A = this chain, B = another copy of it.
């Protein structure tokens, strides 16, 4: 975004309109007991891989999950995720660098939201622009791969500061990348004190039980009929 005054003024209007749409969307999703997560990260940090594993685990446990997947181009990610058996839709942004609440509203059309416990939204891979756009989610999840280095929370503070949860990915590569996990944790806490952090590896499965348990706990808290998933 450019900050010449006229553009700034118009951007504020766009953001404010996005916030209104996001607010209405959140109320609608919450009224149906849906737990909604917005996954943000750099390109290649493992959002799609985490979602593949997560959808598979949740479907196997009887949780009704759906996913919307944002990309500039290609529907590769939706095809990967659909293998889990969960309903998945690709949102092609046609070059736009982030998802907006209106795109979510549009792509939910035609879906039976009564048959959904958890909605995942995978944002465009971008550590900057998505931080400004509320998508009506309950929680924003910032992923950070150990291969990206310990300093990313400090260098991209807005996205980590606006996140509710951090998922550190590819922890099995920490030694190979000489990544200092204690420093990475400290940098996350410096930018977002108290943030809940899951440390995961898709390859070894580390951390995925805790992550899945958290999602099921959140799903059960919202179950309107009181029927919980074990």
Contacts and interface: CB of A to CB of B under 8 A. Distances in A.
Contact of A156 (B125, B154, B170, B176): B125
Given A1-B96, A42-B44, 12 more contacts: A2-B100, A7-B14, A42-B148, A43-B156, A44-B145, A72-B128, A72-B155, A72-B156, A74-B151, A97-B126, A125-B127, A147-B173
Contacts of A154: 73-74, 76
Nearest to A102: B2
Contact of A96 (B3, B44, B176): B3
26 contacts: A1-B97, A2-B96, A2-B100, A7-B7, A7-B11, A10-B10, A42-B148, A43-B127, A43-B155, A72-B157, A72-B158, A74-B154, A76-B155, A77-B155, A95-B128, A97-B97, A97-B129, A125-B155, A126-B126, A126-B129, A128-B129, A145-B147, A147-B147, A147-B148, A147-B173, A176-B176
Contacts of A149: 44
Contact of A44 (B4, B129, B148): B148
A22 interface: no
Contacts of A145: 44, 147
Interface in A128-177: 128-129, 145, 147-149, 151-152, 154-158, 170, 173, 176-177
Interface residues of A, number: 45
Interface residues of chain A: helix, strand, loop or mixed (majority): loop
Contact of A2 (B14, B72, B155): B14
Contacts of A117: none
A7 B10 contact: yes
A151 B44 CA distance: 9
Contact of A125 (B42, B100, B124): B42
